[in-house]
Amino acid sequence: MRVRRSFAAAEPCQHGGRVREISRILGREILDFSASINPLGSPPLEDLVLRELKNICHYPDITYSDFREAAASFVGVNPENIVPGNGSSEIIRIFSEVCIDDGGVALIPSPTFGEYEAQSRLAGAQIIKTDLGVETPRDLESVFDEPLLRGAKAAFFCNPNNPTGILTDRESLMRLAERCEDCGVFLLVDEAFIELSDPDQSLADLAPDMEGLVVMRSLTKSFGVPGLRLGFAVTNRELADIMNRARIPWSISSIASAAAVHLLKNVEFLERSRQTVVKELGWLTAALTGIGLRPLRSSTNFMLVDVRGTGMDSGELVERMLHEGILIRDCRSFGLDGYVRVAVRRRDENERLVLAFKKVLERT
Burial class of residue 8 (count of CB atoms within 10 Å of its CB; 0-12, 13-18, 19+): exposed
Domains of the chain (ranges; CATH) run 5-42+268-362 (3.90.1150.10), 46-266 (3.40.640.10)
Q: Which amino acid is at 2?
A: R
Q: How many helices (H) and strands (E) does the chain have?
A: 15, 13
The DSSP bridge partners found for residue 73 are none
CA distance 232 to 91: 7
> pTM, whole model, 2 decimals?
0.94
Burial class of residue 242 (count of CB atoms within 10 Å of its CB; 0-12, 13-18, 19+): middle
Count of beta carbons in the 10 Å neighbourhood of residue 21: 9
Residue 338 to residues 19, 125, 203, 307, 316, Cα–Cα distance (Å): 22, 30, 33, 5, 10
Print pLDDT tens along the chain (364 aa): 677 777 777 777 777 767 777 777 777 788 999 999 999 999 999 999 999 999 899 999 999 999 999 999 999 999 999 999 999 999 999 999 999 999 999 999 999 999 999 999 999 999 999 999 998 889 999 999 999 999 999 999 999 999 999 999 999 999 999 999 999 999 999 999 999 999 999 999 999 999 999 999 999 999 999 999 999 999 999 999 999 999 999 999 999 999 999 999 999 999 999 999 999 999 999 999 999 999 999 999 999 999 999 999 999 999 999 999 999 999 999 999 999 999 999 999 999 999 999 999 998 7
